[in-house]
Amino acid sequence: MTVEAHAQMDLLHIPASTDALPRLAEYVARLGDRVGSCGGLRRNRLRLAAEEIVVNIARHASPPDRPAWVTVAGGVTEDAVWLRITDSAPPFDPTAPPAAGPPQPWTEGGVGLLLVRSMVDHVCYRRVDGHNETTLLLRMAVR
Amino acid sequence: MGFDAYLRIAGRTVTIRLGGELDATTAPVLRSLIDRAKDHDPTRLVLEMGDLTYMSSAGIRCLVFAHQTLTPAAEIVLLDPQPDVAEVVRLAGLDRAVTLAESERSR
């Protein structure tokens, strides 16, 4: 998956903490404001997926006394909105299939990642220079 | 943004009216109200969701907590959820454990 670099917004730097979720929500809202056809419902999808990624880092890879930092970049293309979330936590691929065994979507973490994969049209993960890089892409057209 | 929640008890029906955004920062409020509801051993827990504009997986975990905490016979009803909130519930598969319903006045 590739995303256009044009029309990219300023970067957002936040600690991987639930306290930072309002700033992330505001960032996604500003991104959505730039796209007239991105209605509230689909904007919520992008916000929800992004929050789940950050909450996952906060819960599993970020000690409360020394939170990891997350950098968020976002932009729009002709037909999509995208967010790229970069963090320095240990490797974690949110696109990886759940561990073998019966599906348990209600377990801690399981439901969040299930929602990430369900809410956006593409989730792409790369490990780059010691960082996790997760890109979420939401198409404008109603599915 | 913001969040508010009100608890109402009538017999063994507990109603919690929710408004605003239910996410990881606000979910502890709902969880504590569910904890209080449990003390009344309700047979019915109604979550009025008409004014709830956003729910993340933290809200789903609250519903799971209610499902696991209340007596097995207790019915959990989500009343008037907005479309994207209802979608999150369905995608999480939780509509198998709770009832999604519309009130008379919302029809």
ipTM of the complex: 0.79
Using one digit for the tens of pLDDT, what is the confidence trace for A36-77? 655 556 778 899 999 999 998 888 877 777 888 999 999 988
Q: Output the domain CATH number for residue A18.
A: 3.30.565.10
The pair of three-digit structure tokens given for residue A59, joined into one six-digit string: 């819960």
Instruction: Classify residue A131: in a domain, yes or no.
Output: yes
The pTM of the full predicted model, rounded to 2 decimals, is: 0.84
d(CA A64, CA A66): 5
With b meaning 16 or more CB within 10 Å and e meaning fewer, what string describes A106-138?
Answer: beeebbbbbbbebbbbebbbeeeeeebbbbbbb
How many percent of chain A have pLDDT more than 70? 80
Which domain does A132 fall in, by range? 12-139
How far the first Cα of chain B sits from its last, in Å, is 27
CB-CB: which of B21, B56, B84 is closest to A41? Answer: B84
SS3 A143: coil
Whether the pLDDT of residue A11 is over 50: the answer is: yes
Q: How confident is the model at residue A139 (pLDDT cuts 50, 70, 90)?
A: confident
Task: Tally the domains of chain A.
Answer: 1
Testing the interface with B: which of A18, A56, A138, A143 to mutate, by most B Cβ within 10 A? Answer: A18
Using one digit for the tens of pLDDT, what is the confidence trace for B20-48? 999 989 999 999 999 999 999 999 999 99
Instruction: Classify residue A114: in a domain, yes or no.
Output: yes
Using one digit for the tens of pLDDT, what is the confidence trace for B53-72? 999 989 998 999 999 999 98
Q: Which residues of A touch B91 (CB under 8 A)?
A: 114-115, 118-119
Q: Which domains does chain B have, with CATH numbers?
A: 3-106 (3.30.750.24)
Testing the interface with A: which of B54, B57, B63 to mutate, by most A Cβ within 10 A? Answer: B57
